[in-house]
Amino acid sequence: MKKTLFMAAMLMASTFTFAQSGTGFGIKAGISYNENGDLISSIGDAGQNIVEGADGRAGFHVGFWGKLDFPKLYIRPELVFTRTQSTYDLDGSSTDYSVSKLDLPVLLGYKIIGPLHIFAGPAFQYTLSNDLDGVNIEDVENDFTVGLNIGAGVNLGRIGLDVRYERGFSENEAQFVSDNIADIQGRVDSRPAQVIFSFSYKLSQGNRR
């Protein structure tokens, strides 16, 4: 985790340095509609797996961004705390699955016309915690994973609005066991699929060349 945070800090710091003679940096926050991957469970010694798809729930994010501007392109790294939630039907009852993580998207954007722009890029993700309501759950298999961000936005002065889709590239599961009602055990995929709505505000702007 320390290496991940150090890499994130160095990337953001270098972008901030460039931003003093380019565009700027700021803060962001927003909400998301998200769901994780399948939950696969079995009861007792039945030996038959039960596969449950996730029902999406609202999540949120807060963080920082920096931007290095070019005539038609820009590079924008972000460092964001994200919390996602999904709901599963586990033994006939609704169970929430929550994941908290640090995201480091590195976006390449293209300015279409006026304030409108599109972007895409990898999102490096570090899982901080995961919780399956009322169930004993282990840490995810891989703390560090990679996803994809793709979206579009508008800039109105210091204010920016964007919508994006995020998808994890590979499965990242956690094992769980529950003995509250029945002997239930299985695994759940923490890989996110999100539609994210963001509001950003520019705190500092460099001098244009």
Map out the domains of the chain as residue ranges: 2-205
Residue 151, judged by CB atoms within 10 A of its CB (0-12, 13-18, 19+), counts as buried
Between residues 197 and 142, which one has the greater pLDDT? Answer: 197
What pLDDT shows up at residue 32?
Answer: 92
pTM: 0.79
The more confident residue out of 22 and 130 is 130
Which CATH code of 1.20.1050.10, 3.30.420.40, 2.40.160.20, 3.40.50.2000 fits the domain covering 2-205? 2.40.160.20
Strands 24-35 and 144-156: unpaired
Burial of 120 from C-beta contacts in 10 A (0-12 / 13-18 / 19+): middle
Residue in the block written with tokens 């991957």:
37
Calculate what percentage of the chain has a pLDDT beyond 70: 78
Predicted confidence (pLDDT) per residue in 12-68, tens digit: 555 444 444 447 899 999 999 987 777 777 766 555 566 666 677 889 999 999 999
Residues near 203 by beta carbon (within 8 Å), at least 6 away in sequence: 24, 25, 26, 27
Q: Return the pLDDT at 131.
A: 87
176: amino acid identity, one letter: F
Work out the average pLDDT over 140-160: 92
The two beta strands, 136-137 and 116-132, are: unpaired
